[in-house]
Amino acid sequence: MADITTTSSLTEEQERQAVALYTHVKELSQLKYESELHREDSLIQQSSHMQTAFSFMTAAVFMALPIMIEYKGVLSLVFFLVTISSIVFFLLLSLVTASLAQRRVKKETLMDITELEKFVSDNWQQTLNESQQLKQWVSVVGKVQRSLSEINEKRVVKIRISMSSFFISIGLIVFWFIVAICKLL
């Protein structure tokens, strides 16, 4: 009889410890998941800013082009074609990658209610334990967070390409300006 009580209280003690541990893991995983959601919003907003920068830069380049051609001096039209083509190529690359970063892609989601109900029905004895409920929550949210994190990492790469392309286009503007000045002198 004493052995049954000791085993029972040991199980209760283990359950209490498991609940404490999984509560801690749940709190940390919830912070991480919310952080990834915020990161996703921030990345999408940043790609939107890159699209806006593309619009302003493209407008500036094409507004200046007729004036530059009108007062081209010794510069040939081929020079302007090469100049504008190289700048616009990197601006377009910036736009495309920023747009790809904004795409909503399929990601892991939380279980549907019918799936959740079936899981609880099939595992009802385990699911009665609070530690198992917390473990299930951590497992489900962990899959969703991992999926979101992987997608966000891909967005980061696309935004970096977009920003690099944009800065290359600015560098090309400076480069071609210096080349044009040297040709005019």
Residuewise pLDDT in 10s, the chain (185 residues): 444 444 445 588 888 888 888 888 889 989 999 999 999 999 999 999 999 999 999 999 999 999 999 988 899 999 999 999 999 999 999 999 999 999 888 887 777 778 777 877 787 777 677 888 888 888 888 899 999 999 999 999 999 999 999 999 999 999 999 999 999 88
Asked if the structure places residue 17 within a domain, the reply is no
Asked if the structure places residue 167 within a domain, the reply is yes
Asked if the structure places residue 24 within a domain, the reply is no
Judge residue 95's burial from the number of C-beta atoms within 10 Å of its C-beta, 0-12 exposed, 13-18 middle, 19 or more buried. Answer: buried
Asked if the structure places residue 141 within a domain, the reply is yes
Domains identified in the chain, total number: 1
Q: What is the dihedral of CA 151, 157, 161, 167, to 10 degrees?
A: 110
**Distance in angstroms (rounded) separating the CA atoms of residues 27 and 34:** 11
DSSP letter (8 states) at residue 129 = S
| Lookup: tokens for 178 | 């210096």
Asked if the structure places residue 173 within a domain, the reply is yes
**Distance in angstroms (rounded) separating the CA atoms of residues 119 and 184:** 77
Whole-prediction pTM value? 0.79
**Distance in angstroms (rounded) separating the CA atoms of residues 185 and 125:** 87
- CA nearest 41: which of 151, 141, 142? 151
For 78, the domain range is: 39-102+109-184
Asked if the structure places residue 121 within a domain, the reply is yes
